[in-house]
């Protein structure tokens, strides 16, 4: 019982983190709009929000309805994966500075970021999302939620990365300072 309560707390903490992201996103999109930022790929955004909300709901529902157990050999490494995903996500947010967003917004003429996690991985935030999408459910044996999220997320990210790469082609090559970086997830 204690492990289930702790797990619900973990899911709630990830939910709160998502709300904080939305506050940062709103502030940054206002700033980007003042700089002439252009949003693309608007059509898939509601599906992305639904998918991420479904991940959190699925974690709680599967554990409560199917009475999934906490299996330490899987659960603890999965919790570590959730923590690592949050660290990577916030490294991305910090690296991109004010132009980070949950949406695809590019400021015309800005310089493409190739520093921080972007010097190693083209789309590090999506690595964080994929990791979290597997690790959060598996922290309490919610394998159905992990599988469904992973499949749907792969379909969504295939579309989103194509749109994002197309939008980013308009940027100048190189690395800009954190406060002057182009938006990218």
Residue 90 belongs to domain with CATH number: 1.20.120.1630
- pLDDT at position 170: 87
Does a structural domain hold residue 93?
yes
In the numeric block, the tokens 């939910």 are attached to: 15
> Are the CB atoms for 141 and 70 separated by under 8 Å?
yes
The pTM is what?
A: 0.90
Going by C-alpha positions, the residue among 60, 83, 75 that lies closest to residue 144 is 60
- Burial (CB < 10 A; 0-12, 13-18, 19+), residue 89, is buried
**Structural domain range at position 60:** 2-180
- Burial (CB < 10 A; 0-12, 13-18, 19+), residue 29, is buried
- E-assigned strands of 23-173? 38-40, 104-106
- pLDDT at position 181: 41
Does a structural domain hold residue 50?
yes
Total of domains in the chain? 1
> Are the CB atoms for 60 and 139 separated by under 8 Å?
no
Averaged over 106-114, what is the pLDDT? Answer: 90
Does a structural domain hold residue 38?
yes
User: For 118-176, what is each residue's pLDDT tens digit?
Assistant: 999 999 999 999 999 999 999 999 999 999 999 999 999 999 999 999 999 988 886 55
Does a structural domain hold residue 9?
yes
Angle between helices 124-138 and 45-65 in degrees, nearest 10? 20
CA distance 56 to 15: 7
CA 57 and chain centroid, separation: 16
Does a structural domain hold residue 185?
no
Does a structural domain hold residue 64?
yes
User: For 20-61, what is each residue's pLDDT tens digit?
Assistant: 999 999 999 999 999 999 999 999 999 999 999 999 999 999
């Amino acid at each position: 019982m204690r492990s289930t309560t702790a797990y619900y707390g973990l899911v709630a903490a990830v939910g709160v983190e998502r709300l904080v992201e939305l506050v940062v996103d709103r502030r940054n999109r206002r700033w980007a709009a003042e700089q002439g930022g252009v949003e693309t790929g608007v059509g898939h955004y509601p599906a992305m929000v639904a998918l991420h909300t479904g991940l959190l709901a699925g974690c709680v529902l599967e554990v409560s309805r199917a009475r999934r157990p906490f299996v330490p050999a899987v659960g603890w490494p999965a919790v570590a994966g959730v923590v690592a995903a949050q660290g990577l996500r916030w490294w991305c947010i910090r690296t991109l500075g004010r132009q980070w967003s949950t949406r695809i917004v590019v400021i015309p003429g800005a310089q493409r970021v190739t520093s921080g996690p972007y010097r190693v991985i083209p789309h590090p935030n999506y690595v964080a999302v994929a990791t979290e999408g597997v690790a959060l459910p598996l922290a309490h044996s919610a394998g159905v939620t992990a599988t469904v999220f992973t499949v749907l997320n792969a379909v969504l990210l295939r579309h989103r990365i194509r749109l994002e790469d197309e939008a980013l082609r308009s940027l100048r090559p190189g690395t800009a300072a954190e406060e002057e970086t182009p938006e990218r997830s």
